[in-house]
Structures are given as C-alpha cells and as structure tokens.
Amino acid sequence: MERGKPPPSLNHGIVQSNLCFSILARYREEYSVISQLSLELDKDTVVFPDLCVYPKKKYNGFQDQQKVSEPPFTAIEILSSTQTIDKLGQQFEACFAAGVKSCWLVQPLFSTISEITPDKNVSVFHKGVLTDPATGISLDLNDVFA
C-alpha cells in the first residue's frame, strides 16, 4: 500500500510476467518494458503503472532515477481485485495529459484488456490479437492469460 495501490496477487503477477515476456520476446530491440516505475508526470502527479513501454533504453548500473518524468509510449495497469476503476481513470487522464500515447487496463478476472487512446477511444479485447496503435505492438491474448 506504500504506493497507494493494493499489493499484487498471484494472477496479477502471472499476467504481468506474461505481458513482459510476450512484448520482449518479439520487440526487445525496439522497446523496453519497465515494471513498477514511479512516473512523475508533473510536480504534483506521480503514478505507478504496473508496466511502462518505452523506446529501447540502455541499462547503466552507475546511473539510476527514483522518479522518471519522460512519459512512456504506453502505460499498462493490471486491475487488482481491490482497485477501483475511478482512480485508474484519473491516472489515465494524467498520463494522457503528459503525452502517453495509449493506456491498457488489464482485467485478469475477465481475461480482458481495454486499450484507451488520448481521444478516449476504447477498444476491448478478450480474445485474439491486440495491436497497440501507439507502438504497433501486437499480442495474442492467449499468451497473456495463460
């Protein structure tokens, strides 16, 4: 709860791992998938997406950041059983205002991913292939919810 979010569950962890693996298996040379990042969107707004998709970043063990102000292309939030949708909507609004190109709301209970763009266009995927308009990343939902 220290980040204002409930602790992740088993299903949350499985889905998060599957998302990371699925994206990196095909797009490792183009993108970095960063988990549990403190994303400082402005001086008053910090959000903690479960995953952020950035253009490829290089690891440097001698330089680190506690908070990152550069918006990701995509912010991914995996809904925990005790999280509310209203708070996530506010976080997504803050992400879009900062320049994030797409947000995904992953619902493990329903094996569903809702993909939201800054113009409030929502696409809901519960089977088949999701393709993110911001990155071109395509994922088979069978790999995510496995």
> Is 2 domain-assigned?
no
pLDDT per residue as tens digits for the range 10-48: 999 999 999 999 999 999 999 999 998 988 887 777 788
- CATH code for the domain in which residue 40 is found: 3.90.1570.10
> Is 3 domain-assigned?
no
Under DSSP, is residue 115 helix (H, G, I), strand (E, B) or coil?
Answer: strand
Whether pLDDT at 6 is above 70:
no
Return the DSSP state at 79: P
> Is 129 domain-assigned?
yes
Domain tally, the chain? 1
The structure's pTM equals 0.92
- CA atoms lying within 13 Å on the CB side of residue 31: 23
CA 60, 68, 103, 96 dihedral sign is negative
pLDDT bucket at 82, cuts 50 / 70 / 90: confident
Question: Longest C-alpha distance within the chain, in Å?
Answer: 42
Domain range enclosing 94: 10-144
